[in-house]
Amino acid sequence: MPKGVGVSAGVGVGPVRKMAAPITEPDPNGQLNGDASAEKARVAAATKAVSEDLQARADKASSLGRDEAAEVLEAQIMMASDPGLVDAAAAKMGEGLSAERAIYESFGTFRDMLAAAGGYMAGRVADLDDIRDRVIAVLTGQPVPGIPESDEPFVLVAEDLAPADTAGIDADIVTAIVTVQGGPTSHTAILARTMGIPAVVAMEGATDVETGTTVLVDGSSGEVTLSPAEEQIERAKAVAAKRAAAAKAATGPGATKDGERISVLANIGGPADVADAQDNGAEGVGLYRTEFLFLDRNDKPGFDEQVRAYQEVADAFPNQKVVVRTLDAGADKPLPFVNNDDEPNPALGVRGLRLAFNHDDVLDEQLRALAQVQSDSHADLWVMAPMVADLNDTKYFHDKATTAGLNTAGIMIEVPSAAITSAHLAKAADFFSIGTNDLTQYAYAADRQIGALARYQSPWQPGVLHLIAQAAQGASVEDKVCGVCGEAAADPVLACVLVGLGVTSLSMSAPAIPMVKAALAGHTLEQCRNAADVALGGATAEDAKEAALAHLPELRELGL
């Protein structure tokens, strides 16, 4: 099979099980069966049932600490609960269409509107399709699309996974995930890493593999082997055991083999993620996403509510760094009380820090809440702004933060212009944190949610590595800290290269922490610098990684 994109490390083996067959399109000539008002009530009951099922999945995801999955599901619930959908279907039934056909056509109208909007909204088309299919399944008595049931562990293969599906995965049964669509920063990739399930995305032809075929999945290399020989499986398991042993042995603070200290921190989405971060040896928090407080509501959270949420995390890391990102809404996270729904391209629009230019009251209150936590906790609280593009942005945020009483205010480097002009920005910011997900997206003009563009989205792309090097160099000139909080930091090989480029801290999904610590502990700073030098000379992402591995023998031996 062609190679896919490995997005969640580990090895999984088992028989292929595919997602349930998609719901078939209802008969275009299907006629209304019964009274229109009764059928409208049946449609309303079906959408309610779907909303309740999604809510149950969201609650389960929250109870398991999968906050990101829960947030995505909550957005789906809002879609499914929109009374406009039922009213639109009722109008179609008034024209004589069957209930299921009316739903199909009504969702189609909304689908076309989302697709035409582009950006974030276009990315939600798959979510809307998933809701449509669930409602039609309820109306027609078909099996609801979802994860196949099995008494034995299996490898899940799908065209793509809807948020409701991903959130419902049982990590004890699903040994690996392989999808045709998706990219390194898709919902599937991020949630698979969070759950510790090996995953490969952008795998052409994956769904052509027959159900029941045994496959071997390497979530690091992106290789999927059909009908592997027993010795291949044993060899892969032995390598995986070596990786696990190395990760288990990596205790204590993050550092290179020769003692260069590198802070290894956790990315979290709220208080529910704290325990996982601590269990995996996080030395603090490198990215506290605060959007969970703002999403799926019609008005901003109050001062006291914010203080409580920030305080809970700060109190969990006394005398350790807790880096809080101020509200990063817009694009894939719109908020009704601040975003402009009419933007033709939200990813390039008013998002991140730019929201404050028209709604500075939201930022000011968040900074005041954080200042309160700073004074009441023993954590080393830092704050940073997302989507900073130039020196004016940097000064604006730093002035706001210091006026609120905060001690350490930095910026995220996500826009190429910020990396290129980092030497100027470092004079006005207290620190940098590189968000490689968006930096890669903007550097290569490749939407991170589009699987067909997966090859552009690799943080190993030489253009991205050069931007990271520029940002780290700009910070060092002013003796400022430069960390990485994007998913790139979770790649053990790339983590060593990032250190070699001059990055001084790494923040990642909690399950990735032990292996990254092991990677650093197995190599000297000089080895990391040599790996970085040759990676910068690579012509392609594949060349860059292969060249780097030549200087990182411990990781090459582990097949990473």
List active site positions: 187, 485
Question: Which among 485, 401, 370, 377 has a CA at the least distance from the CA of 439?
Answer: 485
Placement of tokens 């942005």 in the chain = 393
DSSP string spanning 507-530?
EE-GGGHHHHHHHHHTS-HHHHHH
**Long-range CB contacts for residues 359-363, cutoff 8 Å, separation at least 24:** 360/400, 362/300, 362/327, 362/338, 363/326, 363/327, 363/400
The CA distance from 442 to 155, in Å, is 33
The CA distance from 144 to 349, in Å, is 37
Q: What is the DSSP letter of 317?
A: S
3-state DSSP assignment of residue 330: strand
The CA distance from 483 to 435, in Å, is 9
The CA distance from 308 to 111, in Å, is 39
By the 8 A CB rule, do 175 and 13 touch?
A: yes
The residue type found at 270 is G
* Residue 133 backbone dihedrals phi, psi, to 5 degrees: -65, -35
Q: Helices marked H in 118-210 — which ranges?
A: 119-123, 125-140, 163-167, 187-195
Say if strands 409-413 and 174-179 run parallel, antiparallel, or are unpaired. Answer: unpaired
Cα four-point dihedral sign 5, 7, 10, 13: negative
The CA distance from 148 to 146, in Å, is 6
3-state DSSP assignment of residue 87: helix
The CA distance from 519 to 248, in Å, is 12
The CA distance from 332 to 26, in Å, is 31
The CA distance from 183 to 450, in Å, is 7
With the CA atoms of 439, 440, 446 and 450 taken in that order, what torsion angle do they form, in degrees rounded to the nearest 10? -110
By the 8 A CB rule, do 318 and 377 touch?
A: yes
**β-bridge mates for residue 201, sequence order:** 5
The CA distance from 137 to 132, in Å, is 9
Question: Which among 329, 396, 339, 341 has a CA at the least distance from the CA of 364?
Answer: 396
Question: Which among 323, 262, 269 has a CA at the least distance from the CA of 495?
Answer: 262
**Long-range CB contacts for residues 440-446, cutoff 8 Å, separation at least 24:** 440/185, 440/464, 440/486, 440/488, 441/185, 441/347, 442/414, 442/415, 442/416, 443/416, 443/467
The CA distance from 326 to 411, in Å, is 10
By the 8 A CB rule, do 452 and 203 touch?
A: no
The residue type found at 318 is P
3-state DSSP assignment of residue 93: helix
